[in-house]
Structure 1
Amino acid sequence: MTNNDTKPRVWPGLQYDDARTALTTLTEVFGFTETLVVPGENDLVAHAELRWPDGGGVMLGSVKASSGAHEGQRSGGSSVYVNTDAPSTVDAVYERCRAAGLRIVQELTDTDYGSHGFTVADQEGNSWTFGTYAGA
């Protein structure tokens, strides 16, 4: 059975040592929209939710503000794939990443399975792949 509504049902969750910088990168460079930020003590981010314009979202927070199930999770070890239908969106994100000085892990390429995409590392080492492959 498939649920075809537009609500995201899978939310990658990432922890950052500097969640404020991550919020800036994910919104201004990658193109996510900030929908919720719950501040923590000492300018930490207790919880944040960002939406991708084409659907889906990601949650994040500060390592030092983590508790419960995410307590002890470290930053920099995650990998996220972000899909868009438009090759021009992939190209625009790529150019913003280069302009921001982020490390491009895999250059912009067209694959033999029909995807147009690239992979970049954010400031804390998480891998983000942006591409047109929508899955099987």
Structure 2
Amino acid sequence: MTNTSETTATRTTTGSDSLGQAPGVWPCLIYSDARAAIRFLVDTLGFSESAVYGEGERVDHAELAWPYGGGLMLGSSKPDSPLRQKQADDGSVYLVVPEDSVADDLYRKVVDAGATITVELRDEDYGSHGFTCRDPHGVFFSIGTYRGHGYAG
């Protein structure tokens, strides 16, 4: 297994836990074309590569850091994987952004990249400002300012 990423993730205090520990929840996604998914997630949504292992087009394991805390793990679909899913390119992830203007900027980038918008940019009655899109492979990404109940601070 080869680490094909030379990029180091930058940890931010916005959204990271106050104990200095690694995030305790890592959504994991399986893609039919993980390298293309990584490009979209980095170039359009703003993730940074922490680690990418694999050869050629295959990604055995990748970690992408979200600039506002947390991150994703992902890899290529493999028929012999113990975590085999019925279908690659499936899932839904919610990404927290610190303010409305960040959601607005990401919305424009996602539209410009040609991703499908499934929920238009809007204000929700529970206090979030955001939208939902599908990445080029079909995975849903909701982006909004809602931090979760009890984290409005």
Cα RMSD for the two superposed structures:
1.6
Counterpart of 1:20?
Answer: 35
1:50 aligns with 2:71: no
Q: Of 100, 103, 119, which aligns to 2:116? A: 103
Higher strand share: 1
Kindly indicate whether the alpha-carbon contact (under 8 Å) linking 1:79 and 1:127 is maintained by their aligned counterparts in 2: yes
By percentage of residues, which structure has more helix?
1
SS at match of 2:60: strand
Q: TM-score, normalized by length of structure 1?
A: 0.90
- Letter aligned with residue 52 of structure 1: W
CA distances 1:32-71 after superposition (whole Å, capped 9, x unpaired): 011000014x421011000111101000000037622x13
Amino acid aligned to 2:72: V
Instruction: Tell me the TM-score normalised to structure 2 length.
Output: 0.80
What does 1:6-85 align with in structure 2 at a 5 Å threshold? 6=20, 7-40=22-55, 42-64=56-78, 67-68=81-82, 70-85=83-98
Which segments of 5 or more consecutive residues in structure 1 lack a partner in the other structure?
none
Count of aligned residue pairs for this structure pair: 132
Percent identical: 43
* AA partner of residue 21 (structure 1): A
Structure 1 ranges of 4+ moved more than 4 A: none
